[in-house]
Amino acid sequence: MKPGKALLALSLLFLSAPIRAGLTVAASVDRHEVDIDGSVRLTVTVSGDTANVPEPEIPRLDAFNVYSSGRSQNISFINGRVSSSVSFTYVLEPRYIGKAVIPPISVFTGKEKFLTRQIEIEVRGTAKRPQPQPRPAPRPGAPAAPSAGRGAQGSSGGTKVPQGAEEAPIFMVVEADKDSAYVNEQVTMSVKFFTSVPLTSNPQYVPPSLKGLLAEDLPPVRTGETVLKGRRYSYSEIRTALFGLQDGQAVIGRSKIIAQITGDNFLDPMDPSFFQKFFSMSMGQGRAHEVTSEPLSLRILPLPEGAPPGFKGAVGNYIVSASVDRKELKAGEALTLSVSVSGRGHLNTVTAPDLPGTGDFRYYDTASSYSLTKHDDIVGGKKVFTTVMIPRSEGRQVIPPVKFSFFDPGTKRYHTAETRPIEINVLKGDPSARAYSFVGANGGGGEIKPISSDIRYLSRREGLPVPARLALLLTAFPAHNAVPLFLLLGALGYARLRDGALADPRRLRWRRAFRAAMKRRDEALKAIEAGDDPRAVGVLYDALTRYLSDKSGDDIESFTLKRTLEHVRKRFPATGEFSLGEIRTLWEQLEFYHFSSSSITKENATDLVNKYTVLLEILEKEFDAK
């Protein structure tokens, strides 16, 4: 098959493959009626039978200011099925009074698009509060006027107001709680908007562009009142957590706030835009007024030297723990190990810790779930790494401590936390039960097939044996005396070739890999015809890992998927990203059906065989082109 046709066939096979399970998307709010100075909590939940679900796409919401409040994810293994549920939380601050609509929120899987229902919110007005009025300046030595309102923080909440800014009716201040920070250390940015004139609606906030920084919203919006040089101001404060991506200079760009103030200008009836301005003021929109901040620079420091082994860039303050779903199981059964990392810090910097290297267990790829929190303006939470593992032998087994290293900006030191060892008991498997393992293609039991025998029985028949008769017949003709010589030369040539192959076993495995893989495919097809679909999946997985092992000359069967892809990419540079992606997809499907054998159908198993066949034809050509 030509490479182009093989790629097309493989693409069609994977596009026509059945989706594991339907994705569900739901959106809900904590209230359908809210005051103009209140907020609505929007929760979007995406669930499906997969470890990774796509993120929702929030549409443009002109009636609200939107802030991300966090997310939480849960992954579970129930009866061999993997399911995941992710909840995304947002805080909506209404901008106008009246009926507001949250349009359908979409989630795109790459093949299908799912939409939530439209949600209507009624935004009500509140009792009119007295508008800020100028007050005379306090006498020298007199105490400052007290501030009031929700979330008030002293005279100006500790904000350094630029000189001359308090003379303007509307202004804003942007500042950070520190000028320098380590990579991935939190920096809190505060954006305060001050107004001493009435507004017809809540202002619209346009966040700044960021260079070298990652942002996390810190809702809710804080509001209050303060007095600056005898003038009373109302203010709103928005806080954002920033994290430096790499050492060097990072930049916070210009922020913008668009406010609608009451129009007090005279309207000329002869003005061509008279009616537009009149109805705009009548509808309470007023006149748009923009204020913009100046950019800020931050110095991001590199992490100090002396990082411990196993450090992968986690910055914060964490604790680690580990648990298993059961402490007693039978041989051949799967065990779920959960390693939990919790504390303060950005969870994106927390990656799966290395599992202890022991030959007592076979590890599969790790799935992660996490819950993001933002208590007291500090980003943190918990991240759980779940790994499926199968013990290799019976008896008492111990899972050694799992170590996790991180850098704490508070102490400016590296720390290593570790879990306690976990002891499990592996019982002998049920001999009457059929178990399928990825390590071997065959299940337990089965018919014994003789391979060779060293017993030769004596014949009781009289006369010369057939070979002796043939030798006598050949020697009767002198021209045939050269036949033994040719046979001897052929035997010597074959022995030399065989010795050469034995001297280079890796080359021998390389040459025989594809043919052996096709034989295992035929074995899987026979299992499907016999109605034994789980065994067919086990045979295919074993065939795929053995093929990659034979080609690379390494023990791929003990590798995780991630390590296998890295190894293939390094060992065979000519392998394309398309092929690597199809290896990942086929591997994940085989593992999924292995741990969820009840969901296997004859159609699923046949599709896997077809994908396996086309994939190997492509790999055979790409591996030869190395």
Instruction: Among 367-381, 415-429, 609-623, name the most confident range.
Output: 415-429
Interatomic CA distance for residues 123 and 101, integer angstroms: 10
CATH class of the domain defined by 165-265+278-301: mainly beta
pLDDT tens per residue across span 369-398: 878 888 888 999 999 988 888 888 888 989
pLDDT at 25 over 90: no
- The strand pair at 186-195 and 170-176 is best described as antiparallel
What dihedral angle (degrees, nearest 10) is formed by the CA atoms of 163, 165, 171, 174? Answer: 0
pLDDT at 368 over 60: yes
For residues 496-523, give the mean pLDDT: 74
pLDDT at 340 over 90: yes
165-265+278-301 and 503-624 share one CATH topology?
A: no
Question: pLDDT-based confidence at 147, cuts 50/70/90?
Answer: very low
| pLDDT of res. 422 | 93
Angle value at C-alpha 117, between 116 and 118, nearest 5 degrees: 120
Interatomic CA distance for residues 131 and 25, integer angstroms: 44
CATH class of the domain defined by 23-124: mainly beta
> What is the domain partition of the chain in residue ranges?
23-124, 165-265+278-301, 317-427, 503-624
pLDDT tens per residue across span 89-100: 888 888 878 888
Architecture of the 317-427 domain: Sandwich (2.60)
pLDDT at 1 over 70: no
Question: pLDDT-based confidence at 466, cuts 50/70/90?
Answer: low
- Alpha helix (H) residue ranges in 179-293: 274-282
Interatomic CA distance for residues 369 and 338, integer angstroms: 10
The residues, ordered by sequence, that sit 6+ positions from 127 with a Cβ below 8 Å of its Cβ are none
pLDDT at 51 over 70: no
| Domain 503-624: assigned CATH number | 1.20.120
Interatomic CA distance for residues 577 and 618, integer angstroms: 12
For residues 293-317, give the mean pLDDT: 92
Q: Tally the residues of the chain.
A: 626
Give the pTM: 0.56
